[in-house]
């Protein structure tokens, strides 16, 4: 009887609090619904329309666009690339950031300056950063290429961005390069919220640096890290500028992710409607990816709860 | 909206969207608009400029949302909007005098079913730029006229070593269709027949095969498949490339960036020396949005085509004028000589075919693959994309 | 296991002028149970933290056994500590909190679980093993902190008020268990407490700290029976010893008309005519009014098992620093009476110090006069 | 440097304020002359490592910087020079007057849009982040996911729909439109970041504030905000930078050149056959500096063991 | 100021089966000082938190004065609370912590500073007013938490073990000050403590909680003298009452050969033949061996002012839950003796219950038998 009473009470309490939540969530909801939901709906709508090459709406298309998307030859290559791209970049970013944040959290002369330096790749627009890399990696007038030759790492300038494999890898490196600052700072500020006394307790319990890190610091960093990872997954998955500038001139789709592929569908193939369908598919894929991630990592589970 | 439109006293607003050729483009249009508005107080011209990179994206959005500009300058993709019934006819947006002044060849190049929809603004043809210093070093006396001569000369220059390459072949996505067309036209190919895109033809195969041979035999710069045109031209300007297909504005660039370069222009080499080259023109089109702005549009375009304004525009951008009067003025300039001469032999893209856009895209994204794949495979995939439903 | 030696160890916190622990010299025997007491803020926790390596030693040295540990990191000192503020791992369950050290030491899982369960049983924590600390009550959290220490077999136990949030019953029970565990393992233990009973019953010796300075370190009975100075006298024992100002007249010190004889040794040790007479609440015999120091009962505090009478007399207690500010009546004398006695507010009684229950201190220096 | 100078006065503080993984060990404050010196040497070692890291992160921007000072002739020289032979300092001057683009306007545009967008995003995100961190309600997870989902959409793809929406609202081609877009696009990250920080503040501290008579708003302002400041600063920087560099939507929504932000203005330097790289680089540098300056201003708030000593 | 009424109030925590507070009915008079005691985890803090509005009330209602506050937000209840874990504002100085409420209430700065200073003096916190909590000792933090409450003039004080980390002396002093402050202001107060002395001396009434259920609420003496059931009997008093199982034979209950007479009312209230006899440590008279229950002293615990003798007898205490698991000897009987007595381990004595010191309980239900 007690449990039945209990349940009924709890249900009632919960319903109440959802209503109570509304005023707190309202501003965010208004913005989201007002600015994102409409165009998103429009994107989905477009994916069911038949558009001319120039964008003129010629009526209902049913599932034609989707059929076409799944009939695209390079789709499997592109999907594989997308997975490699997202997983590779995010993992590398997180790893580098963890190390870097740890380093930046130490006290040493010049730390403040270093922190400011590290923010630069974040502050610079991604397009510009990749443009500089394109410029620097050019086999003819690229300064990075010259530097590599001058220090003897390579014998002659190499066309890093001239073939799919090395171009894709270079783009991944740049993607890591531009994602690291943000991730580092999230981790860094996460580190600040870890109570010092718990670290003392770990020291007393005989944990060395490494053990303290993995067993105490890291788990307590998890909420911050999980958020940083989510943001990175989404950003990296959706990242257009890096690949567009760096591998855009490489023929074929060997260096394309779904995002750049979609872009090429619009730009080169003038298939606006197919591209819309692809972007809906793209959206579905990222939702699945994030869903899996949430399921596995459970970032909403707070440390102390 | 007003019904009578354009008439004096009625206020009309015109949206003008133009791409940026170089650093003089925007100031030119701003000045022109100002001058025009001073003369036509009732017409308000809203100028929007976009980079060539972005203008297609912007246009797509505008069309999708029925917000096309009133006047648009674009490459041959401009007149193609007519296939969606969006445009005024060419003779509706300029006065008859202006229309008559335009080289018929250019007008013809953008006709759909015999009807012109775009008024050409500038034109260009391609010609072979070559580095005389490198030619000397490699012991070449004459610029090549045929493919075989080209191959031989290029190989000689490449053999000089030291980061110097014989022929610059940009097959990266920036403008692969241009380089391919020059070669294919040089073998007598044609991209369109009876409204259908014809990519997979024996002539085109021959051209692609020879291009591949150039690559394979080291006559070109490395990785032509992923090399874009603009950066490669810069390399030529820096004296590291023996020969490259270029167009009129390059002349000005060379003078500005590396005046010391010892260079010369020759007609594009072809398979067996027949003179033919690629011609390209950009166009003004007017969008028919049932708003009766036609008269105002015509007023503006007429103003643009006034000799003084028009010549200045061409001088700025370094192109060949598309009007008869303009051509006369241009003939005075020696650096345009070769281009003007090749004009009669110029062959244009089949740009008004609705499928050209995607075909050109297919060239951009696929043709560079001849570096690694077989010509057969590449050409078939391009043909397939060209045939895709729009 | 090991002795612990503080050798003139001092600790300055940033931004404070006085050291929190001032040249502490203290030797704790191997296997000894040392209780550390002192007023709030006197440096008890700091002392433990210095020993554990959590605070730097600004001066002097600390040794565990033969080994100088002054600059050793905490993890190499093999000290188990119960933190005053618990410092639980918020992301771990109770079981993981308790078993963390064993995990670090790579103890096999089964054995670990067993040890954790054992500790949890000892502390009544079994039902909570799977909870995270945030879902525990205050006392339960404290017990987890305790459990984290007692699963270990360290060289030294440091316990900082480990039972302060437990109810009396559980506290007695846990106190007994800690004592027996400590005796069984023979681990040198330093134990901070504010509980007089704990201090008196658990420790082999008790060290009294004040303002970072060690006042006295002795067996509980030594401390209780022969406090070395006024501070220790007033601090040890609850309710506190009555400290009554007196002047020396002839051979004795006079309080409320009653003379308390002084020995020649005491007299010669005096630096002035002023002495302080200390008598604990249980050091008085209650007589009918007229005998001894005449007193009026002001407050009766009934604890059931005993009563405390707060009496106003003509020989009021020494005003201590803390009460000096409040403009209330001079502090009354506390007298213990049997529980449920019939004393009432306003009753007049006579107070006679029991023989042997009198402590004498020099009023100037605060030092105890020789017996 | 100034950090180092202030070091000796902070006696034992090093121990409590040290890095998270620095062993909270025997960092003596006074007395022992040797210890601090040993430590100093180690810290200078870190500085050297830091220098190398800094170089790696700066490398592309050094290229950019060197390029920004090069002349038109030199910037595409083959083979390239590391440094300009002819320093064109006036690139930074002339670019403001370049005919291609009204840079002062664009800079203003970027500043206004970024500032307002950041403020708006934060204002909307704060209550949501706070509430979701503190309360459990049935629609919490769905809400958090909805917020996240909005971020999974490509701005490029959404631009078209936004264009349609804003045209019908008649706020197309206004700063307001871009402020709304930027706020909405960055809202979710701000919510998620701040949510994770709010969750780390012990709830009793806030409860104490309520009992002290604070309304929710007051306890938010006086207690919660100071305590989650590092998280808020992270969110501010993140949002601000994202707004600052937004391109895809601005391109479509802001056709008028004086309304456009720097990112779009930059494309004006990219012509059909040649680009003014020296200007592109110079403008990019100008674009980076304010962000770095902003960061310098609020960086110190990133570091602070703020919640220590609050609860036991 | 206001009465406080709990009207069948319950609280369930998510993820637990049993309520932490179960249908609590309790009425606290206007100006009353109610002490809440109970074992760790019994729901004391939860009760306070419900009253303060920090935990939802899942069932029942809470009223302050005439006003139902069940759904009122905390800030509108005008309650000052000392949290068990302090909950200080880490980013504010001690002065700001203490003065925060006054600031919120927009009290002029000068007046505020004065009030803060007053509270700080009361709590010996003056030297620390400019420090942040992180730089305070445990006891100092607790005093800040206390200070935050006592600067206020609220309708209700809720104090959750506010003195647990203070030394005995300071605790007595603060306890007295709280009591006098409370009396002066007449603020209804609910006070959680684990300290028996605090419970017995401070409260007008004491409420005993166990597993979320109210066991008894009575004056300290009522509770001590007439515990309503075995639990209360064992819980109140330290050391705890000796609870000895006995069987009814004839008119009396027999322990260790000694018969304890039962009244007819008691006999008729019995549900079985088994009773429990409760005698407090101070309820025994120590006689030479031979008289009364014969006992052997096992442990002597000397507190100075008194002694506790743990004696093994033929009438061992009831094994309580906590000790049931440990396979030690059956729990011994605790007897109090005067401090410094000469008892030694191994001495044989006789224990005779004092008249009137015997409590009788039904062994089955645990309820007290009528007197
Ligand atoms: N947030 C929570 N979630 C689930 N259970 C809880 C939570 N907080 C407390 N409890 C449980 O509720 C019970 C009552 O807790 P409460 O804090 O009221 O105990 P208490 O009487 O104050 O104990 P203590 O004297 O140890 O502080 C405990 O068993 C505890 O484990
Ligand atoms: N981090 C710190 N910075 C500055 N002063 C400190 C710091 N920690 C403690 N102190 C001060 O040092 C003195 C000793 O503190 P400590 O914690 O050792 O006291 P304690 O004896 O444990 O007191 P308590 O019984 O109240 O816990 C106190 O006066 C305290 O205010
Ligand atoms: Mg302490
Ligand atoms: Mg509690």
Q: How far apart are CA D148 and CA E343, in angstroms?
A: 75
D79: cis peptide before it, omega within 30°? yes
Look at residue A193 in the predicted model and tell me its pLDDT. 80
Summarised one tens digit per residue, pLDDT across range E118-172 is: 999 989 899 999 999 989 999 999 999 999 999 999 999 999 999 988 988 888 8
- From the centroid of its chain, how far is CA B256? 22
Q: Which residues of B211-234 are buried (b: 16+ CB within 10 A; e: fewer)?
A: bbebbeeebbbbbbbbbbbbbbbb
Q: Which residue has the tokens 């490259």?
A: B244
For residue B31, pLDDT over 70 is answered with yes
Report d(CA D298, CA A14) in Å as an integer: 39
Q: How many contiguous H segments (helices) and E segments (strands) does chain C have?
A: 10, 20
Q: Looking at CA atoms only, how far is residue C12 from chain D in angstroms?
A: 7
Nearest to B367, CA basis, from B245, B220, B212, B185: B212
What global pTM score does this model have? 0.85
Tokens at residue C294, please? 């005449």
User: Strands B320-321 and B119-125: what pairing?
Assistant: antiparallel
Q: E217 pairs with which residues across the strands?
A: E207
**Ligand 2 binding pocket, CB closer than 6 Å:** C 13, 16, 20, 38, 40-46, 84; D 16; E 135-140, 165
Which residues numbered 68-97 in E keep a CB inside 8 Å of some CB on D? 73-75, 77-81, 83, 85-91
Q: Which two tokens stand for residue D50?
A: 């830091």
Higher pLDDT, B10 or C171: C171
Cα(B92)–Cα(B116) distance, integer angstroms: 10
CB contact under 8 A, D50 and A103: yes
D126–chain E nearest CA distance, Å: 20
Query: What's the pLDDT tens digit per position in E270-328?
Result: 878 888 889 999 888 888 888 888 888 888 888 877 888 988 887 767 655 444 444 44
| Mean pLDDT, chain A, whole residue set | 85
Is C172–E240 a contact, with Cβ atoms under 8 angstroms apart? yes
- ∠C133-C139-C142 over CA atoms, to 5°? 65
A 10 A CB-CB count for C245 gives 16
Q: Could you list the beta-strand ranges (E) of A129-197.
A: none
Tell me the DSSP string of B54-71.
HHHHHHHHHHHTT---SE
Q: Pull the structure tokens for residue E303.
A: 């507190």
CA-nearest of C3, C8, C75, C2 to C212 is: C8
Q: Give the Å distance between the CA of C47 and the centre of ligand 4.
A: 28
pLDDT for res E129: 95
How many helices and strands (H and E) does chain D possess? 15, 0
Burial class (CB in 10 A: 0-12, 13-18, 19+), D115: middle
How far is C-alpha B42 from the geometric centre of its chain's CA atoms? 35
Q: How far apart are CA E285 and CA A248, in angstroms?
A: 99
* Nearest-angstrom CA–CA distance, D59 and A169: 19
Contact call for residues B275 and B175 (beta carbons, < 8 A): no
CB E51 near ligand 1, within 6 Å: no
- Residue B112: enclosing H or E segment and its boundaries? strand B111-112
pLDDT digits (tens, 9 = 90+) for A28-46: 999 988 888 888 888 888 8
* Contact call for E and C: 3+ CB–CB distances under 8 Å: yes
DSSP H helix total and E strand total for chain E: 10, 20
The low-confidence residues of chain D, meaning pLDDT below 70, are 1-42, 98-100, 271-274, 302-307
Please indicate whether chains B and C are in contact, defined as at least 3 beta carbon pairs under 8 Å.
Answer: no
Provide the shortest C-alpha distance from residue B201 to chain D (in Å).
Answer: 31
d(CA A123, CA D292): 7
pLDDT of residue D7: 34
Q: What is the mean pLDDT of residues B73-100?
A: 89
Alpha carbon of E315 to those of B124, C83, E255, E297, E333: distances in Å?
118, 41, 6, 14, 8
Q: Residue C139: CB within 6 Å of ligand 1?
A: yes
Q: Could you identify the atom of ligand 1 that is nearest to the CA of residue C139?
A: 26
B172: phi then psi, degrees, rounded to nearest 5: -70, 175
> Would you call the peptide bond into C348 cis, given omega within 30 degrees of 0 as the criterion?
no
Chain centre to alpha carbon of residue D194: 14
State the distance between the two ends of chain D, measured CA to CA, in whole angstroms: 36
- pLDDT category at B390 given cuts 50, 70, 90 is low
Cβ contacts of C79 on chain A, cutoff 8 Å: 204
Question: What ipTM describes this predicted complex?
Answer: 0.84
Provide the pLDDT for residue C319. 58
State how far residue D312 is from chain C, nearest Cα, in angstroms: 4
How far apart are the C-alpha atoms of D293 and D299, rounded to whole Å?
10
Write the DSSP symbol of residue C296: E
Q: Which of A78-87, A103-112, C183-192 has the lowest mean pLDDT?
A: A103-112
Peptide bond preceding D289 in cis form (omega within 30 of 0):
no
Q: How far apart are CA B355 and CA C145, in angstroms?
A: 76
Quick check: D298 contacting C, CB < 8 Å? no
Between B59, B231, B390, which is nearest A138 by CB? Answer: B231
pLDDT at E68 over 50: yes
First to last CA, chain B: 33
pLDDT band at residue E208 under the 50/70/90 scheme = very high
Please state at what angle helix D229-244 crosses helix A111-123, rounded to 10 degrees. 40
Give the lowest-confidence range in B65-79, C251-265, D278-292, E77-91: C251-265
* Pairwise pLDDT comparison (A298 vs C74), residue with the higher score: C74
**Chain segment B265-321, per-residue pLDDT in tens:** 999 999 988 889 898 889 999 999 887 888 899 999 999 999 889 989 988 888 888
Least confident residue range of A228-237, C247-256, E24-33, E184-193: C247-256
Average pLDDT over residues A206-220: 90
Chain D residue with minimum CA distance to B65: D164
**Alpha-carbon distance values, C317 to C255, C280, C311, C359 (Å):** 10, 12, 10, 14
* Separation between Cα atoms, residue B133 and residue D122, nearest integer Å: 62
Binding-face residues of D in 28-47 toward C, CB within 8 A: 28-32, 35
- Judge whether A142 and D37 are in contact, CB under 8 Å: no
How buried is A153 (Cβ within 10 angstroms: 0-12 exposed, 13-18 middle, 19+ buried)?
exposed
> Which residues are paired to C24 by β-bridges?
C9
Average pLDDT, integer, range E225-236? 90
Range of B84-93, B104-113, C306-315, D9-18 with top mean pLDDT: B84-93
Give the per-residue pLDDT at C16: 82
How close is the Cα of C21 to the center of ligand 2, in Å?
9
CB atoms D30 and C59 under 8 Å:
yes
DSSP B83: G
**Residue E16 forms beta bridges with which residues?**
none
The pLDDT assigned to C328 comes to 47
What residue ranges of chain C have pLDDT lower than 70?
1, 316, 318-331
**β-pair partners for E347:** none
C-alpha A240, offset from chain centre: 11
Q: Which of C73, C159, C91, A190 is nearest to C100 (CA)?
A: C91
Angle between helices D175-198 and A2-31 (to 10 degrees): 150
Q: Report residue E66: phi and psi, to 5°.
A: -90, -10
CB E260 within 8 A of CB E252: yes
| % of chain A at pLDDT higher than 90 | 21
Here the tokens at position C61 are 């040295």
Using omega within 30 degrees of 0 as the cis cutoff, is the peptide bond preceding C239 cis? yes
pLDDT for C42 equals 92
Taking the C-alpha atoms of residue E360 and residue E369, their distance in angstroms, rounded to an integer, is 6
């Amino acid at each position: 009887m007690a449990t039945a009473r209990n349940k009924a009470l709890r249900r009632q309490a919960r319903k109440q609090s959802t209503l109570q939540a509304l005023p707190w969530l309202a501003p965010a909801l208004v913005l989201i619904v007002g600015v994102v939901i409409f165009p998103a709906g429009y994107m989905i709508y477009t994916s069911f329309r038949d558009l001319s090459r120039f964008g003129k709406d010629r009526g209902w298309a049913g599932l034609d666009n989707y059929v076409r998307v799944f009939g695209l030859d390079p789709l499997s290559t592109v999907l594989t690339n997308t997975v490699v791209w997202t997983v590779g970049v995010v993992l590398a970013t997180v790893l580098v950031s963890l190390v870097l944040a740890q380093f930046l959290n130490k006290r040493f002369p010049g730390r403040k300056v270093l922190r400011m330096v590290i923010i630069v790749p974040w502050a610079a627009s991604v397009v510009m950063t990749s443009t500089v890399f394109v410029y620097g990696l050019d086999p003819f007038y690229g300064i990075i290429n010259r530097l590599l030759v001058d220090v003897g790492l390579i014998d002659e300038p190499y066309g890093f961005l001239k073939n799919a494999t090395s171009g894709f890898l270079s783009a991944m490196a740049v993607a890591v390069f531009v994602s690291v600052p943000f991730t580092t700072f999230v981790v860094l500020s996460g580190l600040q919220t870890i109570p010092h006394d718990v670290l003392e307790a770990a020291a007393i319990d005989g944990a060395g640096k490494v053990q303290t890190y993995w067993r105490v610091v890291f788990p307590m960093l998890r909420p911050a890290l999980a958020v940083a990872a989510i943001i990175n997954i989404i950003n990296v998955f959706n990242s257009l500028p890096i690949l567009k500038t760096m591998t855009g001139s490489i023929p074929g789709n060997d260096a394309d992710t779904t995002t750049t592929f979609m872009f090429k569908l619009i730009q080169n193939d003038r298939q606006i409607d197919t591209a819309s369908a692809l972007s809906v598919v793209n959206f579905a894929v990222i939702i699945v990816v994030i869903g899996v991630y949430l399921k596995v990592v459970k970032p909403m589970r707070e440390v102390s709860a | 909206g007003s019904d009578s439109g354009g008439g004096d006293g009625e206020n009309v607003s015109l949206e003008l969207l133009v791409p940026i050729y170089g650093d003089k483009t925007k100031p030119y249009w701003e000045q022109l608009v100002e001058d025009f508005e001073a003369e036509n107080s009732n017409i308000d011209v809203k100028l929007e400029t976009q980079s060539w990179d972005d203008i297609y994206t912007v246009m797509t959005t505008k069309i999708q949302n029925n917000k096309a500009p009133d006047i648009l300058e674009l490459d041959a993709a401009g007149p193609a909007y007519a296939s969606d019934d969006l445009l005024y006819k060419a003779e509706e947006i300029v006065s008859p005098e202006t229309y008559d002044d335009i080289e018929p060849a250019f007008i013809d190049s953008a006709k759909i079913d015999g009807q012109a929809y775009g008024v050409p603004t500038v034109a260009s043809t391609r010609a072979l730029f070559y580095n005389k210093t490198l030619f000397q070093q490699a012991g070449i006396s004459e610029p090549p006229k045929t493919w075989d001569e080209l191959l031989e000369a290029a190989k000689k220059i490449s053999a000089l070593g030291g980061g110097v390459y014989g022929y610059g072949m940009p097959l990266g996505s920036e403008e692969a269709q241009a380089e391919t067309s020059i070669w294919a036209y040089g073998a007598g190919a044609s991209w369109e027949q009876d409204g259908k895109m014809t990519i997979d033809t024996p002539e085109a195969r021959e051209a692609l095969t020879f291009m591949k041979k150039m690559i394979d035999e080291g006559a070109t710069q490395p990785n032509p498949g992923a090399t874009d045109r603009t950066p490669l031209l810069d390399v030529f300007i820096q004296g590291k490339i023996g020969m490259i297909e270029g167009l009129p504005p390059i002349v000005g660039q060379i003078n500005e960036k590396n005046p010391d370069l010892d260079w010369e222009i020759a007609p594009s080499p072809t398979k067996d020396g027949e003179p033919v080259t690629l011609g390209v023109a950009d166009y003004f089109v007017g969008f028919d949005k049932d708003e009766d702005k036609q008269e105002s549009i015509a007023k503006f375009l007429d103003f643009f085509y006034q000799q003084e304004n028009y010549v200045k525009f061409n001088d700025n951008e370094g192109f060949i004028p598309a009007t008869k009067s303009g051509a006369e003025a241009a003939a005075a300039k020696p650096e345009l000589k070769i281009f003007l001469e090749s004009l009669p032999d110029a062959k244009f893209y089949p740009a008004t075919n609705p499928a050209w856009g995607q075909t050109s895209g297919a060239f951009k994204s696929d043709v560079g693959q001849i570096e690694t794949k077989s010509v057969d495979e590449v050409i078939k995939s391009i043909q397939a994309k060209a045939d895709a439903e729009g | 296991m090991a002795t612990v030696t503080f050798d003139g160890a001092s600790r300055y916190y940033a931004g404070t002028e006085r050291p929190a622990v001032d040249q502490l010299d203290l030797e704790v025997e191997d296997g000894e149970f040392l209780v550390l007491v002192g007023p709030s803020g006197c440096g008890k926790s700091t002392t433990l933290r210095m020993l554990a390596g959590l605070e730097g030693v600004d001066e002097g040295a600390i040794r565990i056994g033969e080994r100088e540990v002054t600059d050793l990191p905490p993890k190499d000192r093999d000290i188990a500590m119960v933190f005053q503020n618990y410092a639980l791992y918020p992301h771990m369950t109770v079981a993981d909190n308790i078993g963390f050290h064993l995990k670090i030491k790579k103890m096999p899982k089964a054995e670990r679980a067993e040890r954790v369960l054992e500790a949890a049983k000892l502390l009544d924590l079994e039902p909570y093993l799977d909870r995270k600390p945030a879902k525990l009550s205050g006392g339960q959290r404290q017990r987890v902190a305790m459990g984290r220490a007692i699963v270990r077999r360290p060289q030294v136990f440091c316990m900082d008020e480990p039972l302060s949030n437990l109810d009396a019953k559980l506290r007695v029970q846990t106190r007994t268990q800690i004592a027996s565990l400590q005796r069984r393992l023979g681990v040198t233990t330093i134990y901070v407490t504010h509980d007089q009973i704990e201090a008196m019953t658990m420790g082999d010796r008790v060290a009294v700290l004040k303002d970072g300075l060690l006042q006295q370190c002795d067996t509980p009975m030594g401390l209780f029976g022969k406090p070395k100075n006024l501070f220790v006298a007033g601090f040890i024992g609850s309710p506190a010893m009555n400290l009554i100002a007196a002047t020396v007249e002839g051979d004795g010190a006079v309080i409320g008309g009653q003379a308390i004889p002084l020995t020649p040794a005491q007299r010669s040790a005096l630096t002035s005519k002023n002495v302080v007479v200390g008598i604990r609440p249980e050091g008085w015999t209650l007589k009918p009014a007229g005998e001894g120091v005449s007193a009026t009962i002001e407050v009766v505090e009934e604890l059931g098992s005993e009563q405390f009478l707060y009496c106003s007399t003509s020989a009021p207690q020494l005003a201590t620093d803390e009460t000096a500010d409040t403009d209330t009546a001079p502090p009354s004398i506390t007298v213990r009476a049997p529980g449920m006695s019939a004393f009432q507010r306003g009753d007049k009684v006579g107070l006679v110090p029991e023989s042997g229950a009198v402590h004498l201190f020099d009023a100037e220096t605060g030092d105890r006069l020789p017996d | 440097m100034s950090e180092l100078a202030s070091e000796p006065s902070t006696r034992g503080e090093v121990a409590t304020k040290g890095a998270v993984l620095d062993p909270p060990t025997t960092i003596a404050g006074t007395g022992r002359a040797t210890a601090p010196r040993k430590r100093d040497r180690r810290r200078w070692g870190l500085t050297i490592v830091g220098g190398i890291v800094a170089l790696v992160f700066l490398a592309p921007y050094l290229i950019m910087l060197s390029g920004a000072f090069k002349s038109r002739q030199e910037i595409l020289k083959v083979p390239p020079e590391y440094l300009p032979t002819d320093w064109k300092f006036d690139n930074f001057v002339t670019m403001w007057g370049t005919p291609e683009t009204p840079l002062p306007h664009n800079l203003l545009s970027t500043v206004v849009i970024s500032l307002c967008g950041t403020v708006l995003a934060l204002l909307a995100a704060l209550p949501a982040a706070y509430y979701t961190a503190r309360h459990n309600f049935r629609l919490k997870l769905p809400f958090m996911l909805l917020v996240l989902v909005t971020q999974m959409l490509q701005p490029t793809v959404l631009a078209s729909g936004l264009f349609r929406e804003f045209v019908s609202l008649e706020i197309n081609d206004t700063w307001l439109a871009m402020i709304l877009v930027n706020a909405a696009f960055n809202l979710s990250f701000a919510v998620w970041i701040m949510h994770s920080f709010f969750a780390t503040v012990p709830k009793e501290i806030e409860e104490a504030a309520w009992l002290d008579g604070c309304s929710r708003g007051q306890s938010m302002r006086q207690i919660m905000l100071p305590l989650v400041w590092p998280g808020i600063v992270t969110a501010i920087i993140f949002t601000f930078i994202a707004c600052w560099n937004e391109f895809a939507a601005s391109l479509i929504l802001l056709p008028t050149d004086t309304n456009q932000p720097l990112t779009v203005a930059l494309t004006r330097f990219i012509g059909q056959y040649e680009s003014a790289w020296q200007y592109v680089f110079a403008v990019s540098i100008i674009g980076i500096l304010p962000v770095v300056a902003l960061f310098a201003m609020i960086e110190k708030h990133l570091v602070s063991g703020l919640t220590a000593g609050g609860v036991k």
